[in-house]
Homo-oligomer: A and B are copies of this chain.
Amino acid sequence: MANTLNIQELVDRREAYKSLEAPFYTSQEVLDLDLEVIFKNHWIFAAVEPELPEPGDCITVEIGNVSVLLLRGDDEEIRGFHNVCRHRGAKLIDEKSTTIGNIVCRYHGWTYNEDGELILAEHMGKDFDKSCHNLRTVHVRSIAGLIFICLAEEPPADFDEMATTMAKYIAPHDIANTKVAFQSELIEEGNWKLTLENNRECYHCEGNHPQLTVPLSEFGFGFSPDELDERRSEDVAKYAKDIEENHARWEACGLPSAEEEHLADVTGYRTMRLPLMWEGESHTVDTKVACKKLLGNFSRETTGAKLGGLSFWTHPNSWHHFMSDHIVTFSVLPLSPGRTLVRTTWLVNKDAIEGEDYNLENLTQVWTHTNQQDADLVRLAQLGAEMPGYQPGPYSPYTEPHVESFAAWYIERLKSHFAGDKKVQVAAE
């Protein structure tokens, strides 16, 4: 009967290191606010450049009720537009991905060039001023091939810091010379924040992700020191030494590896390169590379294939894993309070040939299984959050600190909004 949900009150009373109160996961009002405050006013990971490699290539990305058209122009630049005609408002590009010359509305033929300028509109009479009817633009930035967009008029400025730092980490994996080997879209039956929270801890991995955990150390994602016996304490020390040695080796190959954590920034992010266990080449079920042709300048002769896994997490909607032979990248987009789209893209060297250099099933199976397993956990968490028996429960200080970072960032962004922060405000519509 909570007809007059006071979101600001819920925001103000949120307790640290506890999961959020139920309406944050279940209410349409909160989702509307999330879309306005979080998704329309922050940098959102939208796509990778290999999804639109050539001039004229065009993709569409749906963020809440906004469809964004991304188009690579003849100058190789990627531009973003609101995907809606300025005449009678028809959606311009209906396909997820296509190749076009100009942007032509199917309804009455209004035509826009690659800068979004209206260049043709029949029957409008001689007093009609085409220049008043150009497409509305959207901010677009690429970090070494990862495309971020922002729907705000003035996007958060600290994107530059993330871009500068992350370009160094990502560049060696050379996204420009990759291709999309596979892309999946999975709809999780849960709130987008449950999807993110699930991603920000591996406490649940051991019991749920048999494929994912093969090349991961159980100590890579936190543990309670109180629960270590002598033998496991030795394992922890050995793993710490292993990281130290690998970081030195990787840095020598030109691969930044140290952890960078900026999870409280407006454009919050974190990165880290961690070793892989066993054969230690890639994140696959046999831990060997899935693609013979390595990425960028990597080679068995020079760098070797054992380059660990570089992970990159961003608020509010992405994570990415970069190995020596392939990249897996994830974007999360809310569909409704209880439904969330997870788009996963696998990239390999653009010269690699399927069936010869890589087997698609072997390349994709770790995350295909893991995504499905996570979707099931998110579904259970959503079902629980919808019950009155649900109460916020405690996060583990050892295995769930990044869940807390995400929740704290989210709450802070809403507080900023309610405080009227001019940099992140809801557009008056």
Chain B residue with the shortest CB-CB distance to A392: B89
- The reply to whether A381 and B19 contact each other, CB–CB distance below 8 Å, is no
User: Known contacts A67-B387, A107-B381; is A89 also within 8 Å of B393 by CB?
Assistant: yes
| B-contact 0/1 string along A142-155, CB 8 Å cutoff | 00000000000000
B383 and A125: CB pair below 8 A? no
Q: What chain B residues lie within 8 Å of A387 (beta carbons)? A: 65-67, 82-84, 91
Q: Is the CB of B388 within 8 A of A107?
A: no
Stretch at the interface among A177-185, A222-230, A259-267: A222-230
Q: How far is the CB of A26 from chain B (nearest CB, A)?
A: 9
Residue A75 at the chain B interface, CB threshold 8 Å: no
Contact with B along A371-412 (1 / 0, CB 8 A): 000000100110111111111111111110000000000000
Instruction: Say whether B88 contacts A19, CB under 8 Å.
Output: yes
Chain B residue at smallest Cβ distance from A105: B380
B108→A383 contact, CB < 8 A: no
For A36, give its contact among B1, B122, B207 (CB under 8 Å): B1
A350 at the interface (CB under 8 A from B): no
When the two chains form their complex, are residues A66 and B394 in contact, meaning their CB atoms are under 8 A apart?
A: no
CB-CB under 8 A from A90, the residues of chain B are: 377, 380-381, 383-384
B-contact bits for A299-318, CB 8 A (1 contact / 0 none): 00000000000000000000
Q: Say yes or no: A86 contacts B122, CB within 8 Å.
A: no
Interfacial chain B residues near A323, Cβ < 8 Å: none
**Is A429 in the interface zone, CB < 8 Å from B?**
yes
A290 to chain B, nearest CB (A): 29
Q: CB-CB < 8 A to A108: which residues of B?
A: 203-204, 207
If A89-B19, A125-B396 touch, does A389 touch B106 (CB 8 Å cutoff)? no
A186 to chain B, nearest CB (A): 18
Assuming A33-B1, A91-B380, A387-B84, is B122 touching A224 (CB within 8 A)?
Answer: yes
**What is the CA–CA distance of A66 and B203 in the complex, to the nearest angstrom?**
27
Q: Is A94 engaged at the interface, CB distance under 8 Å to the other chain?
A: yes
Count the A residues whose beta carbon is within 8 Å of the partner chain — how many? Answer: 67
> A389 and B123 in contact (CB under 8 A), knowing A203-B108, A377-B107?
no
Once the chains bind, are B393 and A88 in contact (CB under 8 Å)? yes
Q: Indicate whether A197 reaches chain B with its CB closer than 8 angstroms.
A: yes
B-side contacts of A36, CB under 8 Å: 1
Q: Is A109 positioned at the interface, with any CB of B under 8 Å from its CB?
A: yes
Q: Is the CB of A227 within 8 A of B394?
A: no
A32 sits at the interface (CB 8 A): yes
Residues of B within 8 A of A136 (CB): 389
A86 near B393 with CB under 8 A, answer yes
CA–CA, A109 and B203, complex, Å: 9
For A92, A107, A223, A386, which residue has the most chain B Cβ atoms within 10 angstroms? A107
Q: Is the CB of B426 within 8 A of A384?
A: no
| Contact of B393 with A87 in the complex, beta carbons under 8 Å | yes
Q: Which B residues are in CB contact (< 8 Å) with A396?
A: 122-125
Asked if A89 and B381 sit within 8 Å, CB to CB, the answer is yes
Q: Contact between B384 and A89 (Cβ–Cβ < 8 Å)?
A: yes
Task: Tell whether A38 is near chain B: CB-to-CB under 8 Å.
Answer: no
Question: Smallest CB-CB separation from A1: which chain B residue?
Answer: B32
13 A–B contacts from the bound complex (CB under 8 Å): A85-B384, A85-B393, A86-B393, A87-B393, A88-B393, A89-B381, A91-B380, A106-B208, A123-B227, A123-B399, A125-B397, A125-B398, A126-B226
Task: List the 10 shortest-distance A-B pairs measured between CB atoms, nearest first.
Answer: A82-B389, A89-B384, A91-B383, A90-B380, A123-B224, A84-B384, A123-B396, A87-B393, A84-B389, A89-B390
Q: Taking A107-B208, A107-B381, A123-B227 as given, write out 4 further A-B residue pairs in contact, using a Cβ cutoff of 8 Å, ordered by the A residue number.
A: A82-B388, A90-B381, A91-B384, A94-B380
